[in-house]
Amino acid sequence: MIEAALARCYEEAMKRLVLIIAILCLALPDSGAAGRFPNIVFILADDMSYDSVSALNPDIGPLKTPFIDRLANEGMTFTDAHSGSAVCTPTRYGILTGRYCWRTDLKSQVLWEWGRPLIERNRLTVAELLQQQGYATGMVGKWHLGMTWLDKDDRVANADVQRHDSFFKKEPGVAERCQEAEARIDFTKPIADGPINHGFDYYFGVDVPNFPPYLWIENDRLLGVPSVPKPDTMFGHPGPMLPGWKLEEILVGLAEKSVEWIHARSKEEKPFFLYLPLTSPHTPIAPSKRFQGRSGMTDYADFVMETDWVVGEVMNALEKTSEARNTILIFTTDNGTSGRANFKELESHGINLRVQFKGWKAQIHEGGHRVPYIVRWPARIAAASRCDETVCLNDFMATAAAITGAELPQDSAEDSNNILPLYLGANRLPNHSWVVNHDYGGRFAIRNGKWKMVPGKTDQLFDLARDQKETSSVASAYPTVVAEMKSRLHEYQTSGRSVARQQPTP
């Protein structure tokens, strides 16, 4: 009992110390705009593993990411960061809400074409939080969280589409529901429940590049009417397309619009938040003309290089507008690399994207959800620094709240920890909740320090400090550890949150 009490006292003391460090660091003078919160730019690449960044992978060979590498050299690299899921939609939900997606009715997989909105209308998002703190908020890129499409009589056209419905699925009635919804949509009507309904002042992008409709969306309107069917020769699910639409122009369009938005916001007094979820290097693997053949290896390598170029364009825009010093620039990805990258073909060119972790996109193995996470903030973060703490992309929302001094409501950000102290140099975060991992099929894992536990018919336990590639389960040797981790996972699943409720400000 005495040991337990001492441990609790130590943990409370560490919490206070971490808070003091954060407060002191934030109080330091800065050469940026006086009295203004820092800008925040959050770049999310799609299907790009930890091993896809040349600064993080000594075996990447001839594939280089010079701009992301420069970001790492100028900021902090997190070596044990995880996406909320090993696939697209759930991770995006977690980033914007600070809540694990498996708490919604999407318990596995992703949203498909014409999917209904996933973010609840009354749920606070990080964009709304920052908007309330005086930020200009913009999103450029891939949404993939569902939208409400209207028919000619302003009724919801996709109301009957169920969570896992898709054209390519063979279950009776599935394709028909999608086709009937599509036929009802009036594409001249505004879209509801998209980015501008969840805290973004401005939006430009696509829902999903390989789903209909194939054209740009700006704010809540389509930029044109998709009047022709997507040709079978173009990658993606069947559906309506704007005549002349080219997949190869998407990434360039996102880069140009991001730069344009940064330049416009830099002329205002408000701080800004830009969420930039890229469509690359996810399929369709469609590098622009200027990057086709650039690597001299594969289209996928070309596309990774173009993804790195977009990061460079954003960095250049921040420098040209004199906003770089007081901007928190984050680069990360939504999950590991997809098998469509063709690992064997890349390896024939000397590019090994499976060198450090087992598995890839959609899997519960580390390669499915261990992601690069690099943060640059010249005014506060030490250059070329490193953090080995286990963190999750869900932590973004609580961290944004800490940056601005905002108090999170009790019914928000249930799985989001404030990791600002780590940005500012704290060695550890003793009160961070254990990180839960989730895969395409709905399988769970939970992390605590070096331990990773995967429950199942036969529970698995891995000591990642000794066995980073998860080659051998040691569950039978540590039954107490397995039992404790199963209990904690069950607690998180049933209590509705993994982070302790926020204490009201005295």
Q: Would strands 136-142 and 76-82 be described as parallel, antiparallel, or unpaired?
A: unpaired
Q: Indicate whether 367 and 457 sit together in one domain.
A: no
pLDDT, position 15: 47
Does residue 369 contact residue 86 with C-beta atoms inside 8 Å?
Answer: yes
Check residue 501 and report its DSSP letter: P
Picking from 10-14, 159-163, 222-226, 369-373, which range would have the lowest pLDDT averaged per residue?
A: 10-14
Q: Which domain holds residue 327?
A: 40-434
* pLDDT for the residue numbered 294: 97
Answer yes or no: do 430 and 447 share one domain. no
Task: Single out the residue in 406, 434, 462 at which a domain terminates.
Answer: 434
Q: Give mean pLDDT, residues 306-313.
A: 98
Same domain, 466 and 384: no
CATH (domain of 479): 3.30.1120.10
Which pLDDT belongs to residue 501? 74
Give the phi and the psi of residue 34 in degrees, each rounded to 5: -60, 130
Domain boundary among 434, 461, 481: 434
Given a contact cutoff of 8 angstroms between Cβ atoms, the answer to whether 388 and 366 are in contact is no
Residue 26 predicted with pLDDT over 80:
no
pLDDT at 153: 98
Residue 125 has pLDDT above 60, yes or no: yes
Q: Six-digit token pair at 164?
A: 């896992």
Residue range 487-499: average pLDDT?
98
Query: Is residue 227 assigned to a domain?
Result: yes
Select the more confidently predicted residue: 36 or 370.
Answer: 370
pLDDT exceeds 90 at position 10: no
Average pLDDT over residues 244-253: 98
> Are 85 and 205 within one domain?
yes
Show Cβ contacts of residue 477 under 8 Å, excluding neighbours closer than 6 positions. none
Residue 504 lies in a domain: no
Q: Are residues 408 and 448 in the same domain?
A: no
- Are 208 and 285 found together in one domain? yes
Is 494 within the bounds of a domain?
yes
Q: Does residue 100 fall inside a structural domain?
A: yes
CATH of the domain at 300: 3.40.720.10
The mean pLDDT of 462-478, rounded to a whole number, is 98
pLDDT digits (tens, 9 = 90+) for 383-399: 999 999 999 999 999 99
Is residue 471 scored above 50 in pLDDT?
yes
Residue 8 has pLDDT above 70, yes or no: no
If asked whether residues 284 and 412 sit together in one domain, one would say yes
Query: Is residue 91 domain-shared with residue 162, that is, in the same domain?
Result: yes
What's the domain count of the chain?
Answer: 2
Same-domain status, 346 and 489: no
Structural domain includes residue 4? no
* Residue in the block written with tokens 């009724």: 155
The model's confidence at residue 25, banded by pLDDT at 50, 70 and 90, is: very low
Residues 383 and 465 in one domain: no
Please indicate, yes or no, if residue 14 is contained in any of the structural domains.
no
Considering the domain boundaries, does residue 480 fall inside one? yes
- Indicate the residue among 396, 414, 434 that finishes a domain: 434
For residue 148, the 8-state DSSP code is: B
* Residue 496 Cα distances to 90, 102, 174, 504, angstroms: 16, 10, 31, 19
- Cβ atoms 303, 286 nearer than 8 A: yes
Which token pair is 423? 């940005």
pLDDT exceeding 70 applies to what percent of the chain?
A: 92
pLDDT at 27: 40
Q: Does residue 450 fall inside a structural domain?
A: yes
pLDDT number for residue 502? 60
CA 259, 264, 269, 275 torsion-angle sign: negative
Looking at the structure, tell me whether residues 491 and 393 fall in a common domain: no
Contacts of 24 (CB under 8 A, 6+ apart): none
Hey, what long-range contacts does 497-503 have (CB within 8 A, 24 or more apart)? 497/414, 497/415, 498/100, 498/414, 498/415, 498/433, 498/434, 498/436, 499/398, 499/413, 499/414, 499/415, 499/416, 499/417, 499/433, 500/431, 500/433, 501/410, 502/407, 502/408, 502/409, 502/410
Same domain, residue pair 371 and 468 = no
308 pLDDT tier (thresholds 50, 70, 90)? very high
